[in-house]
Amino acid sequence: MAALRLIAQAARRAPRNVQVLRRGYADVSDKIGLSLVLPHQALFTSDEVVQVNIAAATGDMGILANHVPSIEPLRPGVVEVIETGNSQKWFVSGGFATVHPNNKLTINAVEAAPLEDFSLEAIRSNLAEAQKVAAGSGSEEDKMEARIEIDVYEALQHAVSSK
Amino acid sequence: MSSATWRQFFSFNKYSQITARAVRQSLKETERAAAEKRGLTALRYQNWENGKGGEQVYLNPPETPVGKGTPAV
């Protein structure tokens, strides 16, 4: 009898099931509506995709469904769009990525092209030219312009050669 | 944007145009022709005062002289 009472008391003292908080992360079935637009062409218009990787000025980011609203300036770099089954990459010259509160992502870019459309020789020769100007004796403005171009060409070279 | 020191020389718009031009110049030959057209800015402007138009100024002066400048309209 005493044993039974002991067990009953122990059972009462055992913790009940704690309510598990529902995590607010996206499942793979959740998608985000992407609009990737250039001034001359719309690559995506509110198309549902799983994940978008962008090269933001503050670092690389991956954006999934239900991302917190934010505005990110882009640096010259690769934007990768992952849909169910395939993923594509574009090199973007710069622009802005805006996540809206209604699960939509808008990327405005000035120039963008798929990585296959670039020529490594052109990139290499452009990079060499820009490095010459940056190390040369022109005005500070010209050198700064060359330095910006060096950033772009190095990012391009890295993206195209490692695909 | 690794070195944001360009901000002392350029506006953000100019910076965007520089990076866009760099990207366009790195495309393959086949794509480049169409892309170069996008980089072209052809603009002529003219100040008007008291009903009289001033001199017509090209934003980007053409390399070869176009001939006597007549207003488009």
Q: Say if strands A77-82 and A32-37 run parallel, antiparallel, or are unpaired.
A: unpaired
- Which residue numbers in chain A have pLDDT < 50? 21-24
Instruction: Indicate if A82 and A138 belong to the same structural domain.
Output: no
Mark yes or no for CB contact B26/A153 under 8 Å. yes
Is there a domain that residue A14 lies in?
no
Q: For chain A, state the CA radius of gyration.
A: 25
Instruction: Indicate if A145 and A82 belong to the same structural domain.
Output: no
B27 contact A CB<8A: yes
Residue A132, pLDDT score: 92
Mark yes or no for CB contact B25/A126 under 8 Å. yes
Instruction: Indicate if A108 and A39 belong to the same structural domain.
Output: yes
Structure tokens belonging to residue A134: 């940056």
Name the strand (E) or helix (H) holding B37: helix B29-38
Instruction: Indicate if A49 and A103 belong to the same structural domain.
Output: yes
Structure tokens belonging to residue A93: 């010259």
How many domains are contained in chain A? Answer: 2
pLDDT, tens digit (0-9, with 9 covering 90-100), for A103-127: 999 999 999 999 999 999 999 999 9
Single pTM value for the model: 0.76
CATH number at residue A88: 2.60.15.10
B29 contacts A119 by C-beta, under 8 angstroms: yes
pLDDT, tens digit (0-9, with 9 covering 90-100), for A68-90: 999 999 999 999 999 988 999 99
Domain limits at A39? 29-116
pLDDT, tens digit (0-9, with 9 covering 90-100), for B14-72: 999 999 999 999 998 888 878 888 777 788 889 999 988 888 888 877 776 666 656 66
Instruction: Indicate if A102 and A126 belong to the same structural domain.
Output: no
Q: Residues 119..138 of A with a Cβ closer than 8 Å to B: which?
A: 119, 122-123, 126
A90 contact B CB<8A: no
